[in-house]
């Protein structure tokens, strides 16, 4: 049994999928998000989309970092995580503007004070204000904040995002076919709309990352941060503290398009630490996807957000039996190397749990792919053709990781 499973977490969410299999699957079976007829406006040319997600156990990392350093600003990143995990799923079906967002925050008041709530709530609005400058408009509708200490050990930050969108501007993945190339867009680096290095971790696999990298120090001093019934052998089994330094020279994707180190990386070695890598706010691809959807909509056959399920996520949304070959993947960013070194996990598990370097992929043709890569470069996001699709009599995925082939 994998360490991930021993900690009570499932990368593939098998039991969740089994529980919802009898529910209405929506209008487009292979689309990344469920879509339904326009109940709000009653227009048959539109759909309604509602999506719920959150920062997951990343909020526990924020809690630890805040407790250890006193830096309360890390909670703003958790606000961004909860938004981006919703927004970037909706980007995959073509939605990038005129969205509504409602937050759901459950806290244990005995350990999470009002100052933290203020950081999360105001951080959410600040993120929306930033996105608006890139033409992505999201209206914050408030939400529910509950004190439920008997249910939550620290804090859970989640949200729901809703949109009404025209059918003729949807990406349903039904067009994915043999002969597509797959463009991957890096999850790490410093995008034009980011002010610090992003490790690429996103908001998936953080239970593993936290326990595999961090030391027993945290189990002893913060027992409120883990399930007490867990076997001690899987709890905080790493060797690092959150404040342990990481040299900037080890951070991939931290260069400008010209190849020079990004001028925003002006902090010294001692200030780039393990905690900052683990807590890098989830990158949203919304500013980029607005450009790509407006310029190349008719050439986009499918879009996948490599979130839960990592590099295997694409298999779930194929409209037909296909062989996906990813043989030109990004070099894994430093955070994933640290996780693998600490946990001893093999590549098969790592690529099934984490994005490992790119969190967004688009299925298109080679000519369009080259144009998309250039557009991403303008926003300081690395992009490359990571793979392709071929005909097959079954759904299969072949990953090449250095000299190793992994087949799912």
Residue 271 falls inside a structural domain = no
Residue 59 lies in a domain: yes
Residue 273, domain member (yes or no): no
Residue 151 lies in a domain: yes
Q: What is the phi-psi region of residue 384: left when phi exceeds 0, alpha when psi lies from -120 to 50, beta otherwise?
A: beta
CA torsion through residues 50, 52, 53, 59, sign? positive
pLDDT for the residue numbered 14: 65
Does position 264 have pLDDT exceeding 90, yes or no?
Answer: no
Domain assignment present for residue 233? The answer is no
Domain contains 42? yes
Window from 102-116, 132-146, 247-261, 377-391 with minimum mean pLDDT:
247-261
CB-based contact 52:158 (threshold 8 Å): yes
Contact 333, 251 (CB under 8 A): yes
Could you tell me the maximum CA-CA distance found in the chain, to the nearest angstrom? 58
Q: Per residue in 36-60, pLDDT tens? A: 999 999 999 999 999 999 999 999 9
Q: Does the residue 160 lie in any domain?
A: yes
Number of structural domains the chain divides into: 1
Q: What is the pTM of this model?
A: 0.92
Phi and psi at residue 254, in whole multiples of 5°? -105, 15
Q: Is residue 308 part of a domain?
A: yes
pLDDT of residue 1 exceeding 90: no
Instruction: Tell me the residue length of the chain.
Output: 408
Residue 38 CB: number of other CB atoms within 10 A? 17
Please report, rounded to a whole number, the percentage of residues in the chain having pLDDT higher than 90.
Answer: 87
Where are any strands of DSSP class E within 55-137?
Answer: 99-107
> What share of the chain in percent tops pLDDT 70?
90
Of 140, 115, 136, which is closest to residue 125 (Cα–Cα)? 140
Q: Which residue range(s) make up the domain with 135?
A: 3-11+29-190+279-407
CATH number at residue 54: 3.30.1330.10
Looking at residue 262, its pLDDT comes to: 67
Question: Nearest to residue 320, comparing CAs of 182, 176, 170, 180?
Answer: 176
Note the pLDDT tens digit of each residue in 272-287.
Answer: 899 999 999 999 999 9
The DSSP symbol for 329 reads P
């Amino acid at each position: 049994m994998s360490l991930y499973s021993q900690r009570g977490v499932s990368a593939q969410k098998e039991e969740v999928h089994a529980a919802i299999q009898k529910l209405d699957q929506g209008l487009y079976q292979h689309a990344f998000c469920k879509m339904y007829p326009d109940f709000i406006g009653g227009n048959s040319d539109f759909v309604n989309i509602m999506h719920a997600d959150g920062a997951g156990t990343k909020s526990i990392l924020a809690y630890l970092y805040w407790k250890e350093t006193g830096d309360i600003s890390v909670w703003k990143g958790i606000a961004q995580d909860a938004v981006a995990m919703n927004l970037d799923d909706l980007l995959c079906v073509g939605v990038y503007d005129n969205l509504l967002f409602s937050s759901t925050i459950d806290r244990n008041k005995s350990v999470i004070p009002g100052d933290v709530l203020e950081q999360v709530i105001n951080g959410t609005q600040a993120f929306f204000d930033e996105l608006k400058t890139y033409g992505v408009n999201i209206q914050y509708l408030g939400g529910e904040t509950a004190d439920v200490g008997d249910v939550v050990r620290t804090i859970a930050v989640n949200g729901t995002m809703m949109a009404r969108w025209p059918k003729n501007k949807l990406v349903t993945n039904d067009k994915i076919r043999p002969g597509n190339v797959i463009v991957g867009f890096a999850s790490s680096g410093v995008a034009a709309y980011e002010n610090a290095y992003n490790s690429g971790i996103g908001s998936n696999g953080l239970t593993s990352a936290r326990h595999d990298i961090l030391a027993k120090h945290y189990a002893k001093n913060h027992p409120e941060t883990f399930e007490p019934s867990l076997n001690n052998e899987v709890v905080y089994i790493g060797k690092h503290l959150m404040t342990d330094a990481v040299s900037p020279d080890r951070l991939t994707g931290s260069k400008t398009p010209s190849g020079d180190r990004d001028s925003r990386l002006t902090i010294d070695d001692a200030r780039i630490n393990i905690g900052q890598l683990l807590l890098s706010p989830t990158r949203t691809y919304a500013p980029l996807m607005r450009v790509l959807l407006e310029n190349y909509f008719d050439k986009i056959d499918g879009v996948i957000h490599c979130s839960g399920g990592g590099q295997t996520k694409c298999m779930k949304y194929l409209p037909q039996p296909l062989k996906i070959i990813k043989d030109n993947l990004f070099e894994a960013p430093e955070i994933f190397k640290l996780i693998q070194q600490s946990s001893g996990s093999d590549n098969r598990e790592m690529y099934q749990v984490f994005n490992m370097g790119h969190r967004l992929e688009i299925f298109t043709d080679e000519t369009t792919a080259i144009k998309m890569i250039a557009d991403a470069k303008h926003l300081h996001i690395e992009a490359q053709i990571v793979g392709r699709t071929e005909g097959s009599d079954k759904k299969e995925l072949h990953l090449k990781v250095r000299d190793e082939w992994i087949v799912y």
